[in-house]
Amino acid sequence: MIPFGFEITARDGAARQGRVATAHGSFATPAFMPVGTAATVKAMSAADVAATGAKIVLANTYHLMLRPGAERVARLGGLHTFMNWPGPILTDSGGYQVMSLAKLRTLSDKGVTFQSHLDGATYELTPERAVEIQNLLDADVTMVLDECPAYGADKDAMTASLDLTLAWARRSKDAFVARGGYGLFGIVQGGVFDDLRRRSAEALIDIGFDGYAVGGLAVGEGQETMFQVLDVTLPYLPDAAPRYLMGVGTPPDILGAVTRGIDMFDCVLPTRSGRTGKGFTRGGEINIRNARHAEDPRPIDEACGCTACTGHSRAYLHHLFKAEEMLGAMLLTRHNLTYYQDLMRGIRAAVGAGGLAAFAADCRAGWSAGDIAPI
């Protein structure tokens, strides 16, 4: 079996173009991973997701441990078979969802005990169990269990949280079953505190991982602060390992993070927006529910080749959302994911050609100009 690996194929400043090899195929970076929380990218079939250009998807440990259960997925052939996605899958460890969704969360050195947001049942998630669940799911990329304090926590609280996260990272590494094509990523935490971010990065490198994620961002701190944290953190991460910015983000967030050296992204934004009427275009964001689209014969984005844009007008999508037809959400989600994959493809090409600055300037000029209605 092919070993898990990362190869950098081009550079443009701090930005990198590369390729990650996994047990279920490889994918080019910088890459955006559509979020398939409960073994499905909402409003999309696996074939639809692949048609957008996505090569890797993200699934969620927390949600899948609650239902249908990791052991059941394993008995049914693993997550790739279960959701009919043959390509690479990354599973996050559930730490963020325990913080944001679970009830009555209790932390200890051992792990976290919480009540399910679904039915109130009590669960215990330890670093060992989080890794075991991801192994049962057959995730190509496993994430360590981390502790995710709420945004705004003071330094004492963040330090205590980081101590726990680093202890859990060591135990996650010990629990991981090393095998060809499968990788384990550590997660850098530390809030907005430069010294904690450095300490976290250095401790994780000491443990040794196949890739390194930056967590605890996109939780309310704002783009400028997020970029400042990346500027502090990324110089301490190994150049030869993939770098993953968790839960980010908007197209401008992605562009800014790529220029700083991030290789992998995930975010619910394109799919959630697709279900609520927001579309991403080369002229910025639009709300398809707005009355100005009611008789607009144009596609969502004239430069897009997705089925929503090649086969349907804005007027039709406007009608679907006003009529509360599910096809509207399906078409707009497909468009948004296609837009994100087109953006990543453009970024990769620009890095390869040494033209990322010009590409980024063109993108920002288009977003700033806005969506211009026909005369």
Is position 266 annotated as part of the catalytic site? yes
Q: Token digits for 317?
A: 């999508």
> Which residue among the candidates 92, 210, 263, 342 is catalytic per the annotation?
92
Can you state the percent helix, strand and coil of the chain, rounding each to 5?
45, 20, 35
Beta pairing class for 264-266 and 31-33: parallel
Q: Which residues partner with 11 through β-bridges?
A: 16
Pairing of strands 15-22, 25-29: antiparallel
CB-CB contact of 211 with 243 (8 Å): yes
C-alpha to C-alpha distance for 127 and 198, rounded to whole angstroms: 22
Question: Number of helices (H) and strands (E), helices first, in the chain?
Answer: 15, 16
Which residue in the list 266, 296, 301, 371 is annotated as catalytic? 266
**Which single residue is written with the structure tokens 């559509």?**
34
The C-alpha torsion from 215 through 221 and 225 to 226, rounded to 10°, is 30
With H, G, I as helix, E, B as strand and everything else as coil, classify residue 264. strand
* Catalytic residue set: 92, 266
